[in-house]
A and B are shown apart, each in its own frame.
Chain A
């Protein structure tokens, strides 16, 4: 059964402006998370009732790493939690990425969409796949060491040109030749994912995108976080939290 567990906060520190890394120690025997899944972080302050759904950046044994951006009062509260604190989180939720059996994997991340690709990189590496990461940042870089460790090749783009390619991830990829057997796993802002959809369609590359939406429960009960897919010529609605957050990039309707 899925459940809400009490984890112990081991680390919680800034990686870049407004970007924080939280390492949680889980009780023994908790279900390991797959790349692309997320956990609900429950804040329990009486005012902010809804859980914050945060993607899994890395899980090694009973150490769960979440990298999140402070965007409002709830995530600011998360950033103020001190090591040693008890943090209530859910079991891993959502479907996660599906890695190919062989060939090349391209991890395309933008901004706070970069963190879940760390776990994907390590899982792909463990499967013996050739892993390339193309990561876009506004300015400050984060999680570089992890990608350098897990990937065969790493390309960086920054919007301000302070590091790597001057521009965004899709512009960066335009300049590269990709092997035909490349599977693209992406997470980032909607404009980036929309551009990637066209990019992959033109090259006939399979694309998986991880979507973000304002969630209520995070486990599929409230139907607050739907997205639209175009499937067999008809629009269908799927819950981002339960049916996703990872969807076939060729099917997603970006509005």
Chain B
């Protein structure tokens, strides 16, 4: 596979390959127990806020056909603990770190941005799309005006490139994508989870303590591919495509749809080495199909 060049430039970052971990499904120490993190294009860490968040009550997880629901609610130890623990641990690896930022308000998003400005973080991913947080989160991601407002404020405060993560729980995702592009975003990632629900037939109650949760996994992949395709045609920004990627072939599908890089999320919960498996499978797929680099594969889309 030496003939395949996976190197990727994404919003100014030089990556070994276009494969990242998806926020919320990656923890440095725990994932690093299964594979060498330096083999990835980048890692996107779990949502972090300026101050610690307790998250939602349990059960937070429910299985569904071909996927899962989660309602973790962005439990995180706050920026200070994130810098001391997660970031310092990641320093031993040769991999760019993208920090997923959480907040309940514009001020909170700006606060965490400022906390992480002087760190080794290579890029920010603005999480305006978590369906499990009552205030903030998805509230910003479903309204083009609010999405633009928070993007602009964070962009003004940030000393790193800012990627904005979009929710699929909207009527027209291209309207949000255009709004954050106009507000100065450096990249877009999509999709976050789809709002879903399951009910326990024994207790007749929702399976999740939160009632509803975010659906992820291979079940949502066609929705994600469609939205990447739509957003590619609406904006010029680099796109990180994610949503149900389990294999290298899945990753290739996103690249063909218009993504410039991809992230592996739920698959890593199902198979801890999935992110690096996807790197190898993508290279094998490209070698088999005769594409020398990512640009050649992307250019092959007929649509």
C-alpha spacing A215/B68, complex, angstroms: 11
| Contact A49 B270, CB 8 Å, known A214-B60, A222-B24, A222-B72 | yes
> B31 to chain A: which residues have CB within 8 Å?
221
> B29 to chain A: which residues have CB within 8 Å?
220
> A225 to chain B: which residues have CB within 8 Å?
58, 60-61
Q: Looking across the interface, which residue of chain B has its beta carbon closest to that of A3? A: B34
Contact of A49 among B24, B30, B34, B67 (CB under 8 A): B67
| Contact A50 B34, CB 8 Å, known A213-B58, A222-B72, A224-B70 | no
Interface centre among B31, B62, B269, B273 (most CB of A within 10 A): B269
How many A residues have CB within 8 A of the partner chain?
A: 29
C-alpha spacing A74/B270, complex, angstroms: 14
Q: Mark A241-255, 1 if CB is under 8 A from B, else 0.
A: 010000000000000
**Contacting pair A2 B34 (CB below 8 A):** yes
> A74 to chain B: which residues have CB within 8 Å?
63
CB neighbors of A among B199-221 (8 A)? 217-218
Looking at A40-48, A119-127, A177-185, the stretch in contact with chain B turns out to be A40-48
C-alpha spacing A51/B269, complex, angstroms: 8
B27 contacts the other chain (Cβ, under 8 Å)?
Answer: yes
> A219 to chain B: which residues have CB within 8 Å?
30, 33-34, 272
Q: Mark A40-68, 1 if CB is under 8 A from B, else 0.
A: 00100011111100000000000000000
Q: Mark B59-90, 1 if CB is under 8 A from A, else 0.
A: 11111011110101001000000000000000
**Contacting pair A1 B33 (CB below 8 A):** yes
Contact of B59 among A2, A42, A51, A214 (CB under 8 A): A214
Q: How far is the CB of B131 from chain A (nearest CB, A)?
A: 15
**Contacting pair A223 B55 (CB below 8 A):** yes
B266 contacts the other chain (Cβ, under 8 Å)?
Answer: yes
C-alpha spacing A1/B146, complex, angstroms: 45
Interface centre among A213, A219, A224, A225 (most CB of B within 10 A): A224
A140 contacts the other chain (Cβ, under 8 Å)?
Answer: no
C-alpha spacing A227/B269, complex, angstroms: 19
**Contacting pair B58 A1 (CB below 8 A):** no
Contact of A221 among B25, B60, B218 (CB under 8 A): B25
> A227 to chain B: which residues have CB within 8 Å?
58
Size class of the B contact interface (CB-based, 8 Å): 35 or more
Contact of A50 among B33, B270, B273 (CB under 8 A): B270
| Contact A226 B75, CB 8 Å, known A42-B270, A90-B272 | yes
**Contacting pair A224 B72 (CB below 8 A):** yes
Interface centre among B35, B61, B273 (most CB of A within 10 A): B61
A171 contacts the other chain (Cβ, under 8 Å)?
Answer: no
Q: How far is the CB of A236 from chain B (nearest CB, A)?
A: 10
**Contacting pair A50 B268 (CB below 8 A):** no
C-alpha spacing A217/B273, complex, angstroms: 12
> A217 to chain B: which residues have CB within 8 Å?
25, 268-269, 272
Contact of A226 among B30, B60, B65, B268 (CB under 8 A): B60
B165 contacts the other chain (Cβ, under 8 Å)?
Answer: no
**Contacting pair A48 B60 (CB below 8 A):** no
For chains A and B in complex, what number of residue pairs have CB atoms within 8 angstroms? 97
C-alpha spacing A198/B218, complex, angstroms: 45
Q: How far is the CB of B141 from chain A (nearest CB, A)?
A: 21
> B26 to chain A: which residues have CB within 8 Å?
221
C-alpha spacing A25/B29, complex, angstroms: 29
> A221 to chain B: which residues have CB within 8 Å?
25-27, 30-31, 268-269, 272
**Contacting pair B270 A223 (CB below 8 A):** no
Interface centre among A42, A214, A237 (most CB of B within 10 A): A214
Q: Looking across the interface, which residue of chain A has its beta carbon closest to that of B71? A: A224
Q: Mark B13-45, 1 if CB is under 8 A from A, else 0.
A: 000000000001111011101110000000000
Contact of B61 among A47, A90, A222, A242 (CB under 8 A): A222
**Contacting pair B266 A226 (CB below 8 A):** no
B271 contacts the other chain (Cβ, under 8 Å)?
Answer: yes
Q: How far is the CB of A51 from chain B (nearest CB, A)?
A: 7
With A214-B60, A222-B24 given, name 10 new contacts (CB 8 A): A1-B35, A48-B63, A90-B272, A214-B58, A216-B68, A220-B30, A221-B30, A222-B269, A224-B72, A226-B60
Interface residues of A (CB under 8 A from B): 1-4, 42, 46-51, 74, 90, 213-217, 219-227, 237, 242
- Can you spell out 25 A-B residue pairs with CB atoms less than 8 angstroms apart? A2-B33, A2-B272, A3-B272, A4-B272, A48-B63, A49-B63, A49-B68, A49-B218, A49-B269, A50-B63, A50-B68, A213-B58, A216-B68, A217-B268, A219-B33, A220-B27, A221-B26, A221-B272, A222-B61, A224-B59, A225-B60, A226-B55, A226-B60, A227-B58, A237-B75
